[in-house]
Structure 1
């Protein structure tokens, strides 16, 4: 499944499930209905606590934004009748998608919350008619047509939905998918849902989308390397605990990487690591790549022997050798294409040998490949 659809799947399932349950709300025992009313408040508290625990300022802003329709639904005598509050929530959710993460509560968070508060103050002023612009209350064409203010607000909502869809489609990010689904749910909440219990369910779904997002994001941070987007050393260590009896371990090291860093700088070095990792992620033969540390990577082939993976590793080595990386020469200030190569050391699993010992054998083979000229593959044939 394409990544852009994969990141959309979970929030879509959650909101769809809430809408499905809401459609059959009349079949649910009344004792459960009383619990549903409190669910969004509980999930709002959980989301804020998780945002604080993981130091996520964007999640704090999202929780505050979702509290706006929550407050309007249960504490405002007019309920969700005011389109302006939903518009504030939808518009600011789009803004959140483009914000950089700066921590849970600091001057940036205060500024963002103050900005939202200013918008809510304007909504309240218009609602109470403390301020008014007569032209905004005029009908667009004739009787029964919307007034100008309604058209402007819906125009803002539609524009934000389109913007969020484009952002999700281009970035394939979890936060982009979550923002889009949450905005759609809020439009449904305003335009379709009218039962208090259905509102509770749909708002609970919106909070759950972001609770799951922060849990998935924290898991990704722990098990996925931020630079290369490969599985991290921690993920490798856990995978080593559940290996089959037969497997192959390949250690991969970027040749002359220190010299490259000294020549072009660490930014260009990071670019090289990212490009190499991208090639590693395409390895055939069922290999699973990990970032081992620095410029070194590990590939594990499950239920394979050397004869099964030899061609796959050779194709990988050749693909990296044929790859060209565009870098900036700091001395001349010009862009140039450079060639990158890797050396590989390989070892098969052995009887009565732990995965760590097999990795050590692969490391020994890697050093042999380095000594023999680099840009080559060496198999450790050492007998136990």
Structure 2
């Protein structure tokens, strides 16, 4: 699949912000619609988060399920405990605790790996959230109504012009929203995007809590975004290679259908890969494929690189003929040939962290190897059909292998 602006890091940061801004501008209309459909509006977030849990289980995205569970639990607290004025009883303290703990629960998902909902990690995460609720209950019970005024004069002071939420929590929420946005810009993983959108929508809810129906509106938006990102995750699983992280064979086949008339296709193969696997093991062989994929991703000429299968990769240069891409292919071939990869010996790796840390400074003593690749390239001036151009590139690759390897042939 060709690069899409929809999955770019900037779009994923800006999209929730644009939606929240649009809702804010039309908030009077949102309130009117919500009042007319109050039962649906109030229950919609629960329904959305429930479907998110089901999809998360199907796609083995337990971290998305954790976010869905934390958001669902928080929304239940809002609906059952915080439907009164913040000046009444312990409402302000309860809202403050929720505003503090929900982002913590969202960030805790980074401590776990993705799996299905029957995993021990998901059960453990649920227990952590229950402990949060228990701690909050004990805190509210211990301090009571009498202590709230004292807190408001100190730590929980409010700036009414900004929010009815304590100012320190407003700054806390803004900071965490910014941090998670940076994570999206840097890494652009589904886990980053889901945490960012959850904290962003929750922050908007807590900071502007005095606006009617803000919780049902923002949490519904959070549920919709979560479902969108889960579908995006399933798309990535289908089109990206799990080992190297670059697009796979399925993505290549989709892209070949929309290349146009002018293009070049290069087939790239790791030299002596089977012998390398037999000598150093499959784990190190996987490291080689990851390394080659990472270096190929830097090839110039606006190339799109795919893992074709095994140790073979494909680079597609749209809008360029052979003479325009040879220099870029030579540069990436030389870059890989000059790269020294340190071998990791899994069997002798220290189990003790302290021992392992003491050995990390001795990286220069580690055994290193050099990897080379052979490349065959053809363009659409020879044949208009992409599958035939791939066959021509394969023949050129075979020629490179037969005449010494570590070269580009056409």
TM-score (normalizing by structure 1)? 0.83
Task: Describe the shift of the 1:166–1:378 C-alpha distance in structure 2 as closer, same or farther (beyond 3 A).
Answer: closer
Q: Tell me whether 1:11 sits opposite 2:16 in the alignment.
A: yes
Aligned partner of residue 370 in structure 1, secondary structure: helix
Deviation of the 1:351 alpha carbon: 6.9
Determine the structure 1 residue equivalent to 2:280: 264
Aligned partner of residue 375 in structure 1, secondary structure: coil
Task: Describe the shift of the 1:9–1:258 C-alpha distance in structure 2 as closer, same or farther (beyond 3 A).
Answer: farther
- Aligned counterpart in structure 1 of residue 302 of structure 2, from 252, 270, 286: 286
Deviation of the 1:291 alpha carbon: 0.6
Task: Describe the shift of the 1:332–1:31 C-alpha distance in structure 2 as closer, same or farther (beyond 3 A).
Answer: closer
Distance 1:110 1:331 in 2: 32
Determine the structure 1 residue equivalent to 2:371: 340
TM-score (normalizing by structure 2)? 0.78
Distance 2:170 2:19 in 1: 27
Deviation of the 1:187 alpha carbon: 2.9
The CA RMSD measured in Å over matched residues stands at 3.5
Partners of 2:31 and 2:212 within 8 A in 1: no
Once the two structures are superposed, the pairs formed by residues 1-384 of structure 1 within 5 Å of their partners are 5-22=10-27, 25=30, 31=36, 35-76=40-81, 78=83, 81=91, 82=94, 83-127=96-140, 129=141, 132=142, 137=147, 144-146=153-155, 154=169, 164=180, 171-328=187-344, 334-349=365-380, 354-379=385-410
Deviation of the 1:145 alpha carbon: 2.9
Task: Describe the shift of the 1:122–1:171 C-alpha distance in structure 2 as closer, same or farther (beyond 3 A).
Answer: same
1:84-140 deviation line (CA, Å, top 9, x unaligned): 23333221111013321131223332222122123213323444x2xx269x94877
Equivalent residues, number: 373
Distance 1:252 1:168 in 2: 31
Aligned partner of residue 114 in structure 2, secondary structure: coil
Task: Describe the shift of the 1:139–1:87 C-alpha distance in structure 2 as closer, same or farther (beyond 3 A).
Answer: same
Distance 1:133 1:39 in 2: 34
| Stretches of structure 1 lacking an aligned partner (at least 5 in a row) | 380-384
Distance 1:72 1:329 in 2: 51
1:39-86 deviation line (CA, Å, top 9, x unaligned): 323322321222232232222221121112321333336458312233
Distance 2:382 2:275 in 1: 39
Deviation of the 1:314 alpha carbon: 1.9
Aligned partner of residue 301 in structure 1, secondary structure: strand
| Stretches of structure 2 lacking an aligned partner (at least 5 in a row) | 158-164, 350-364
Task: Describe the shift of the 1:349–1:65 C-alpha distance in structure 2 as closer, same or farther (beyond 3 A).
Answer: same
Distance 2:225 2:344 in 1: 42
Distance 2:344 2:34 in 1: 67
